[in-house]
Amino acid sequence: AQKITQTQPGMFVQEKEAVTLDCTYDTSDQSYGLFWYKQPSSGEMIFLIYQGSYDEQNATEGRYSLNFQKARKSANLVISASQLGDSAMYFCAMKSSYKLIFGSGTRLLVRP
Amino acid sequence: EPEVTQTPSHQVTQMGQEVILRCVPISNHLYFYWYRQILGQKVEFLVSFYNNEISEKSEIFDDQFSVERPDGSNFTLKIRSTKLEDSAMYFCASSEARGGPGTGELFFGEGSRLTVL
């Protein structure tokens, strides 16, 4: 069975600092993808970053990077230089068999 | 930029009533999904749809739920007889079919909030 675990229900970070949001996963599939989505208070789901299971390099998208450690089955999101607008819920998700499964989310609050 | 659109944005209904939530996926996408998010909880997979049929469904997607693509553009979720516990945000999503089963991000609509009284 596939499972995504986010152990941090809430996190604080000071504006302009970096923050790491944890995500571990469990799957028996050889080919899968790992995703992070942001959900601001307005409710929409915004795609941030993707890492394929066969990708050897960690994915980066602007201030977002994904620290992929396959042997440990972890896919942590690193947000550099946090901004007030980064305050939101963040969901880690895994895709295999064309279906996306989400973790329980981490609420990030950026302090000015 | 192409986007997934959902209507209505908010619907209030009485318990036992039928509800239809509508979605227009991105036009060149071939995979369609419905997800549910009960307030304050995680986003849960309901059903995926490909090639005009359900490709996978979760245990939440019981006989009271159905999906349809009636006209090649709309993708609907019907809840036959709503219960209080169906109150949630319902997200439609779509993705391209290229690449393997683990590739391709899902593009989400803004959600339809269903309130069952």
Q: Please write the tens of the pLDDT for every residue from B10-65.
A: 999 999 999 999 999 998 898 999 999 999 899 999 999 998 999 999 999 999 99
Say how far apart CA A37 and CA B90 lie, in whole Å: 16
Identify which of A44, A45, A98 has the shortest CB distance to residue B101.
A98
Single out the residue of A15, A26, A16, A13 nearest to residue A75, CA to CA.
A26
Give Cβ neighbours of residue A71 (< 8 Å, ≥ 6 apart): none
Contact state of B33 with A96 under an 8 Å Cβ cutoff: no
Neighbours of A31 (CB within 10 A): 16
Whether B111 has its CB under 8 Å from any CB of chain A: the answer is: yes
Residue (of B100, B51, B96, B39) closest to B75 by Cα position: B51
pLDDT in tens, chain A (112 residues): 789 999 999 999 999 999 999 999 999 988 899 999 999 999 999 999 999 999 889 999 999 999 999 999 999 999 999 999 999 999 999 998 888 999 999 999 999 9
Number of Cβ atoms within 10 Å of the Cβ of A52: 17
Which residues in chain B are closer than 8 Å to A105, comparing Cβ atoms?
42
CB A84 within 8 A of CB A12: no
